[in-house]
Structure 1
Amino acid sequence: MYGPLPARDPVFSRPLQPRVHPAGAGGRLRQFRHDAFDRGMSPLLVVDHVQSAGPEMEPLPHAGLSVATLLFEHAQGEIESVDSAGARHCIRPGDLHWTLAGRGVVRQARARGESLSLDALQILVNSPSDLKQQPPASFHLAAAKVPLIALPGSRLRLLAGQLGAVRSPLVLPQPLLILDGRVDAGATVALPLPAGWNAWVYALSGELALEADGAGTRALPATTAVTAGAHLADVQLRIRGVGTRSHLVVVAGAAINEPLVQHGPFVMNTRQEVMRVVQDYEAGRLGRL
């Protein structure tokens, strides 16, 4: 006879290895999808970690979500983001760019530079229902304006949201915390997670250990991710460096508890809304590049 199933951890998912796909000239894409975790990742839908020499990407339509691009500081080259709403931004190493697709937009990312070694996260963030019907908009934060938080044994870049008394100057259409940082072995970063929020924690390199009161410790080797949820009350996450210096990214936001109907890059609340976006795209009403 089989014994009882182990109790589900009250905070953390199981650590997850990404699906790996080829990308660009000899590059690779590590992909994390919300439906692959055994605990909620909302408001995030997909996170792609792209390391590539970077040919141009084909224009893609989006609706009902946001596309965030974080180009890491050590990357070589630039990414030009253009969309059918007329926005054009150059994403340089250390920058964060955010496109709110709203009711629909066509977007293209183009790699630029003589020597390309791109290393970036592309994050698809679900929008709450009110933002799904808004016109598209773009937001950009240059690396020079990213606040730095120096703690014992750690250096954190606060790209969005607030940590302690420090607030990012980037104002996004929905509340999020986005951190990109380095943590030495033995150093600990404490992150408050408000009730109703989820966090996605990714170890790009090194190894991390995650803890929270009442939860089991999660070991996070390089290139793995975990989600954490504060379901009934605030949770204090503790992220500790293990072994060598670790590079981590944390993205946290309020879970969106609404119906989700997805058709490729269109994410709406009902099938009727999705079909309307498909018809708008096919008729050219989302614009063209």
Structure 2
Amino acid sequence: MTFQRELKEKWRVEYTEMKFPAIQKGWVLPVERWRELDPFILMAEDWFKKGTFPDHPHRGFQTVTYVVDGRLEHIDNAGGREILEPGDVQYMNAGWAARHAEDGVENDIAHTLQLWLNLPKDKKNSDTVYQNVYQEDVPVVSFEGGRLKVFSGHTAGVAGPLDSIVPITLTEWTMGEGSSYTIHLPENHNAFIYMLAGEAEIGTEKQAMRKHEAGLLTFRETGEGESTLAIRSKKRRTKVLVYSGQPIGEEIVPHGPFVMNTMEEINQAFEDFRNGKFGPPAV
């Protein structure tokens, strides 16, 4: 029988006021739980204005940034410069040496969700890659009372355009009251849910989740088949993000802007940055 996903655990995200030009931050996925979240390291929800995240380096992991509201300007030292709007997603493989800036545009307050996604040891020195995924290019699957957008992975008969080194599934569910839908995910993918709006019942056990709550789903790490995830909306305007990815199973050291496998590798990353090996500033 197909494995049916249920809500294993949920928690409410707490927010902290920040020093201007940052405004507010919440840890959707706290970094100290990376072992049980594998391959996910952390996810931060931020509200900020221009000047919060200027030029900075990264090494050893990937980011998936979802723009909730406002506009986000991305600048990298390879010549990339783009403005992302609500509903857009940016993927970055930091690989061996990324250097970029992420900021609000003009007087906008940017509201983003940034996920840090681990890289296996043999890919931490891979090439740096950026990919912008604009909402109008994302396949949409309509169902009674709602729609599903597939940013990454294969589900609901479509494939998302986001092409990550570590394959993941990222879907956005927009649902009216009483609407329901079921998707298929690889059963060996670790997965979590974040409620952007409204209220929903998760799985066949119909466990309730509300806005600003995150939750881990059950999965079978050694499974080789498909699993199902059912969600039913309890409010007029419910919006849900579901992320899934196969665990890597390696020890890591998340430290500052770098994620490596040992502290020695972290120290080497800082030394390489000081010695200019990450290239010129992103301006």
Alignment TM-score, normalising by the size of structure 2:
0.87
Q: What does residue range 1-289 of structure 1 map to in structure 2 within 5 Å? A: 12-23=7-18, 24=20, 27-35=23-31, 40-72=36-68, 75-76=69-70, 78-114=71-107, 116-212=108-204, 216-231=205-220, 232-233=222-223, 234-289=226-281
Residue correspondences, number: 273
Q: CA deviation at 1:175?
A: 1.0
Q: CA deviation at 1:238?
A: 1.0
| Letter in structure 1 aligned against 2:25 | L
Closer, same or farther: CA 259–246 of 1 in aligned 2, 3 Å: same
Does the CA contact (< 8 Å) of 2:46 and 2:111 recur in 1?
yes
Question: What percentage of residue pairs aligned between the two structures are identical?
Answer: 23
- Whole-Å Cα distance in 1 between the matches of residues 230 and 162 of structure 2? 25
Q: CA deviation at 1:141?
A: 1.2
1:4 alignment partner in structure 2: none
> For structure 1, which segment, 123-132 or 227-236, has the greater mean C-alpha deviation from structure 2 after superposition?
227-236
Q: What SS is found at the alignment partner of 1:243?
A: coil
Q: What does the per-residue CA deviation read over 1:126-181, in whole Å, with 9 as the maximum and x for residues that have no partner?
A: 11223211121111112221111111121222111121221122322221111123
Q: What SS is found at the alignment partner of 2:90?
A: strand
| Letter in structure 2 aligned against 1:241 | S
Closer, same or farther: CA 218–60 of 1 in aligned 2, 3 Å: farther
Q: What SS is found at the alignment partner of 1:15?
A: strand
- Whole-Å Cα distance in 1 between the matches of residues 34 and 126 of structure 2? 32
Closer, same or farther: CA 287–38 of 1 in aligned 2, 3 Å: closer
Closer, same or farther: CA 260–229 of 1 in aligned 2, 3 Å: farther
Q: What SS is found at the alignment partner of 1:47?
A: strand
Does the CA contact (< 8 Å) of 2:203 and 2:231 recur in 1?
yes
| Letter in structure 2 aligned against 1:178 | L
- Whole-Å Cα distance in 2 between the matches of residues 70 and 276 of structure 1? 30
Does the CA contact (< 8 Å) of 1:209 and 1:219 recur in 2?
yes
Q: CA deviation at 1:203?
A: 0.8
- Whole-Å Cα distance in 2 between the matches of residues 36 and 206 of structure 1? 28
Alignment TM-score, normalising by the size of structure 1:
0.85
Does the CA contact (< 8 Å) of 1:12 and 1:39 recur in 2?
no
Q: CA deviation at 1:248?
A: 1.0
Closer, same or farther: CA 267–189 of 1 in aligned 2, 3 Å: same
Does the CA contact (< 8 Å) of 1:200 and 1:250 recur in 2?
yes
Does the CA contact (< 8 Å) of 1:210 and 1:220 recur in 2?
yes
- Whole-Å Cα distance in 1 between the matches of residues 192 and 160 of structure 2? 19
Q: CA deviation at 1:54?
A: 4.8
Q: What SS is found at the alignment partner of 1:279?
A: helix
Pairwise CA RMSD: 2.4
Structure 2, unmatched stretches of 5+, are none
Q: What does the per-residue CA deviation read over 1:16-47, in whole Å, with 9 as the maximum and x for residues that have no partner?
A: 11231224558322212355669832222111
Q: What does the per-residue CA deviation read over 1:45-65, in whole Å, with 9 as the maximum and x for residues that have no partner?
A: 111222345544232221111
